[in-house]
A and B are shown apart, each in its own frame.
Chain A
Amino acid sequence: EVQLVQSGAAVKKPGESLKISCQGSGYSFTSYWIAWVRQMPGRGLEWMGIIYPGDSDTRYSPSFQGQVTISADKSISTAYLQWSSLKASDTAMYFCARPRADGGLDVYDIWGQGTLVTVS
Chain B
Amino acid sequence: DIQLTQSPSTLSASVGDRVTITCRASQSISSWLAWYQQKPGKAPKLLIYKASSLESGVPSRFSGSGSGTEFTLTISSLQPDDFATYYCHHYNTYSQTFGQGTKVGIK
Contacts and interface: CB of A to CB of B under 8 A. Distances in A.
9 contacts: A44-B85, A44-B100, A45-B89, A46-B98, A59-B94, A62-B95, A99-B91, A105-B92, A114-B43
Interface of chain A, main secondary structure: strand
Interface residues of B, number: 23
Nearest to B97: A47
A112 interface: yes
Contact of A105 (B55, B87, B91, B101): B91
A109 B46 contact: yes
A80 interface: no
Interface of B: 1, 34, 36, 38, 43-44, 46, 49, 55, 85, 87, 89, 91-101
Interface residues of A, number: 24
A50 B94 contact: yes
